């Protein structure tokens, strides 16, 4: 999974380093110049970080990379875009195919209302202008998993245009500074998915499964406003979260519900854009950034060596970690677009233009869909920051894991502990345990109310935080026990008996005269050693602040 | 593989012209687009399907220069280009002659003066687009579907491996002849 925030994971390469801190280094104001109004039609000039090829000396050859994306998101619907057959992943081959999906003669497309609504809702969430009239076209190409020989798409007049997608990257020393960047959305179009081909190279044949043929897709075209793999991956991750929040697509990359093609070129800043290549079928968030970064570096190397970049389609070989040219496209493809003769223009309405007496099943009201828009991830994060005073990067982390935000909110509801404490526990300890065991949030044996109870014990100073961690580990192992049960079983309560604690402190000081001497000589760290020793003797049952007070009192007496 | 005339789309346009005989409609149909019929890919899936090229219209619709095809004679170069696009073998002089005839047939649309007429998107452009509720009412008919298949493995259709570029003239053995 891509982190929703850009972090300098690609620091190993010098151009990527330039990508991260180009704002400060080159004085172009990239680091601070971004604010996102998210408004439609906002003109956005891509910041193109300057990339330095590894071979260059003293920054002579600066390269800027330009990345644009085409993203296909499968619409979450019961039935397909133009037929009434079911949409379902991993069904028996060819079981979800109607005669239309197999393009048998005499069949005609019938548009699925749900798919249109999903496209409108996605367009609104991405600040697009919704075209009240849009058109369907045929895009022709020959491939065995496209039995009609053409795909119905929206080439001339798509359903939504001119939007924007804001995503955030973290910069600064501790990644504490969150910068919002914006990528323009050229258009969103409705189109059909193709079937699936299984290549059996041994027997030199292709097996065709048409279950996916005709499933509704949203093709989201992002303008080339990005400049490295991490930016692209972060933008895709944000789009994924938005689609999931809207429910318009499940956007699960592993199941192919979100697929990305990247257009990549490099050039010297101030000069015209370079020849671009297209890297197809980036179906994993992990490989998306890597493929783009590889392709940028490959193009720089080619140009530095005096070679030319060919306008070609490439694919990413994740085993080799490099992009390779695809062989089945020779030269420029002519898709022979033509208007789809079987589908009249798609008309949408708003409340003002809604025809009187129209059948509500047959008209789509853009204003109604706008009213139904759920809270978007950016709004959710903003709310978290406002409501609980947590750090922006924590708000990203909470949304990045399926179910984590809900878990966090349920804990908050039931505990008196500070939101900051809860955030720290959920993001560090709880999430750490999940990651270590490769579990999803809903697979956790620790429920929100159990964690809330544990944090209450901590908050009431019944146990120390070290003991709380012990209890947490125990909770993970022994399902069904409450934190209080574990605390009393293991005798982990904080020592409330101050006299007893004073005796322990005294004994420890007696036993370590050297440390006491150090402390008296003014070594400030020596007291920490004594605190640690006392805690060890008390099996983490004493509050370090109380120990410190007692030790200081005894030393000064 | 033969190249056939009587393209269904052109018929649809012509039918619309007949039904709506006012001059403006005739002109708008003429502005529909330049349909260039050039043959099809059929044998592989057991039936003949027509394939169409569409030009960007003519005067006033764009800056594109007239196509090479417009002369009436189709050059060997164009034929080769079309064959590569469609993975179809035109095969003989006779087929090429038929292609030229089909183009000439469609080219008659150019005789209409369309100056200042808004292009027609579709002969159905004034109709409502019916919207279907999102219910599953089809599918689950794999046995019937596979009856139409030339070859089957388990429940899969079997196709040749990938898109194969057209072989060179001397080693030609198009898969449509297999």
Q: Would you list the domain boundaries of chain A?
A: 63-339, 377-489, 498-556
Long-range residue pairs from B111-117, CB within 8 A, at least 24 positions apart, any chain: B112/B26, B112/B27, B112/B30, B113/B27, B114/B27, B114/B28, B114/B30, B114/B31, B114/B59, B114/B60, B115/B59, B115/B60, B117/B24, B117/B27, B117/B28, B117/B31
Pair of tokens at residue A310: 């060919």
Please give the ipTM for the structure prediction.
0.75
Rounded CA separation A259/A251 (Å) = 9
Q: Among all residues of chain B, which has the CA nearest to that of A157?
A: B121
- pLDDT per position as a tens digit, A155-174: 999 999 999 999 988 776 66
Count the neighbouring beta carbons within 10 Å of the beta carbon of residue A467: 24
Q: How many CB atoms lie within 10 A of CB B41?
A: 17
What's the CA gap between B139 and A96, in Å, rounded? 5
Q: Give the separation between CA A442 and CA B121, rounded to whole angstroms.
A: 51
- The alpha carbon of residue B33 is apart from the nearest alpha carbon of chain A, in Å, by 8
More confident call, A381 vs B12: A381
List residues bridging with B54 in a β-sheet: B35
**Chain A residue closest to B84 (CA)?**
A330
Count the neighbouring beta carbons within 10 Å of the beta carbon of residue B49.
15
A191-196 average pLDDT score: 96
Q: What are phi and psi of A453, to 5 degrees?
A: -65, -40
The pLDDT tens digits of the residues spanning A346-373 come to 999 999 999 988 899 999 999 999 999 9
Identify whether the C-beta of residue B134 lies closer than 8 Å to the C-beta of residue A114.
Answer: yes
Q: Bigger pLDDT: B129 or B79?
A: B129
The C-alpha of A11 sits at a distance from chain B's nearest C-alpha, in angstroms, of 39
Q: Per-residue pLDDT averaged across A498-504, rounded?
A: 82
Q: Is the pLDDT of residue A55 over 80?
A: no
Q: CB–CB of A111 and B129 under 8 A?
A: yes
Task: Return the SS3 of A424.
Answer: helix
- Cβ of B131 and A361 within 8 Å? yes
- Residue indicated by tokens 């919704």: A130
Q: Taking 90 as the threshold, does the pLDDT of residue A111 lie above it? A: yes
- The DSSP string of A281-321 is EE--HHHHHHHHHHHHHHHHHHHHTT------EEEEETTTT
A498-556: CATH, from 1.10.10.410, 2.160.10.10, 2.60.40.10, 1.10.150.530: 1.10.10.410
Q: Does B97 touch chain A (CB under 8 A)?
A: no
For residue B128, name the pLDDT band (cuts at 50, 70, 90): confident
Chain B hits for A114, CB-CB cut-off 8 Å, are 133-134
Q: Are B145 and A99 inside 8 Å of each other by CB? A: yes
Average pLDDT over residues A230-253: 95
Residues A456 and A412 sit within 8 Å (Cβ to Cβ): no
Position A260 scores a pLDDT of 96
Residue predicted with more confidence, A538 or A87: A87
CA dihedral A356, A359, A362, A367 (to 10 degrees): 50
A46-55 in b/e form (b: 16+ CB < 10 A) is bbbbbbbbee
Tell me the torsion sign for CA atoms B79, B84, B86, B87.
positive
Strands A129-130 and A313-317, bridge-based pairing: unpaired
- pLDDT value, residue A57: 46
The Cα–Cα gap between A144 and A159 comes to 28
Tell me how crowded residue B143 is: count the other CB atoms within 10 A of its CB.
9
B15 touches chain A (CB under 8 A): no
Position B98 scores a pLDDT of: 81
Look up residue A508 and give its two tokens.
């420890």
Among A2-11, A245-254, A377-386, which stretch is predicted with the lowest mean pLDDT?
A2-11
DSSP annotation of A177: E
List chain A residues with CB under 8 Å of B159.
144, 197, 205-208
């Amino acid at each position: 999974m891509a982190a929703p925030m850009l972090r300098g994971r690609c620091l190993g390469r010098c151009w990527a380093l330039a990508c991260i801190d180009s704002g400060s280094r080159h004085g172009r104001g990239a680091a601070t110049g971004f604010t996102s109004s998210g408004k439609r039609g906002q003109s956005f000039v891509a910041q193109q970080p300057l990339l330095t090829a590894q071979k260059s000396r003293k920054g002579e050859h600066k390269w800027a990379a330009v990345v644009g994306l085409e993203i296909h998101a499968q619409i979450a619907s019961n039935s397909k875009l133009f037929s009434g057959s079911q949409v379902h992943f991993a069904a028996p081959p060819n079981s979800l195919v109607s005669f239309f999906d197999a393009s048998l003669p005499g069949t005609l497309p019938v548009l699925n209302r749900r798919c249109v609504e999903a496209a409108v809702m996605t367009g609104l969430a991405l600040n697009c202008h919704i075209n009240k009239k849009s058109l369907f076209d045929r895009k022709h190409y020959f491939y065995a998993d496209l039995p009609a020989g053409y795909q119905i798409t929206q080439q001339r007049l798509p359903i939504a245009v001119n939007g924007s997608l804001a995503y955030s990257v973290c910069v600064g020393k501790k990644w504490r500074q969150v910068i919002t960047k914006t990528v323009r959305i050229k258009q969103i179009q409705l189109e059909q998915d193709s079937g699936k081909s299984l290549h059996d190279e041994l027997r030199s044949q292709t097996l065709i499964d048409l279950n996916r043929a005709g499933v509704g897709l949203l093709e989201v075209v992002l303008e080339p406003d990005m400049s490295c793999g991490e930016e692209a991956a972060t933008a895709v991750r944000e789009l994924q979260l938005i689609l999931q929040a809207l429910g318009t697509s499940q956007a699960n990359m592993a199941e192919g519900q979100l697929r990305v093609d990247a257009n990549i070129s490099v050039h010297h800043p101030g000069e015209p854009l370079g020849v671009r290549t297209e890297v197809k079928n980036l179906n994993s968030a992990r490989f998306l950034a890597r493929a783009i970064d590889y392709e940028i570096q490959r193009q720089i190397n080619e140009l530095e060596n005096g070679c030319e970049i060919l306008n070609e389609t490439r694919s990413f070989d994740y085993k080799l970690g490099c992009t390779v040219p695809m062989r089945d496209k020779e030269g420029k493809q002519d898709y022979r677009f033509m208007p789809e003769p079987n589908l009249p223009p798609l008309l949408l309405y708003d409340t003002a233009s809604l025809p009187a007496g129209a059948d509500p099943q047959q008209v789509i009201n853009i204003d109604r869909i706008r009213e139904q828009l759920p809270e978007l991830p950016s709004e959710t994060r903003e709310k978290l920051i406002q409501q609980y005073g947590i750090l922006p990067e924590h708000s990203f982390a909470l949304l990045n894991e399926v179910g984590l935000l809900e878990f966090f909110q349920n804990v908050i509801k039931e505990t008196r502990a500070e939101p900051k404490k809860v955030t720290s526990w959920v993001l560090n300890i709880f999430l750490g345990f999940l990651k270590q065991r490769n579990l999803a949030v809903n697979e956790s044996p620790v429920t929100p109310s159990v964690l809330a109870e544990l944090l209450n014990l901590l908050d009431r100073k019944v146990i120390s935080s070290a003991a709380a961690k012990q209890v947490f580990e125990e909770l993970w192992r022994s399902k069904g026990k409450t934190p209080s049960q574990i605390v009393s079983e293991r005798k982990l309560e904080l020592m409330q008996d101050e006299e007893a604690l004073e005796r322990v402190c005294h004994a420890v000081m007696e036993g370590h005269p050297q440390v006491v001497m150090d402390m008296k000589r003014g070594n400030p760290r020596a007291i920490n050693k004594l605190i640690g020793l006392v805690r060890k003797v008390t099996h983490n049952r004493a509050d370090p602040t109380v120990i410190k007070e007692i030790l200081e009192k005894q030393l000064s007496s | 593989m033969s190249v056939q005339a009587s393209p269904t789309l052109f018929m649809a346009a012509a039918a619309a012209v007949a039904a709506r005989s006012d001059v403006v409609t005739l002109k708008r149909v003429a502005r529909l687009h330049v349909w260039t019929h050039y043959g099809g890919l059929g044998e592989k899936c057991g039936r003949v399907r027509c394939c169409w090229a569409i030009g960007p219209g003519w005067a006033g619709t764009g800056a594109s220069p007239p196509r090479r095809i417009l002369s009436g004679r189709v050059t060997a170069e164009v034929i080769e280009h079309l064959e590569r696009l469609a993975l179809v073998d035109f095969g003989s002089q006779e087929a090429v002659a038929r292609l030229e005839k089909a183009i000439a047939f469609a080219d008659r649309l150019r005789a209409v003066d369309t100056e200042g007429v808004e292009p027609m998107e579709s002969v159905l452009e004034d109709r409502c687009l019916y919207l279907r509720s999102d219910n599953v009412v089809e599918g689950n008919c794999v046995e019937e579907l596979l009856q139409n298949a030339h070859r089957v493995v388990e429940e899969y259709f079997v196709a040749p491996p990938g898109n194969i570029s057209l072989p060179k003239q001397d080693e030609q053995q198009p898969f449509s002849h297999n």
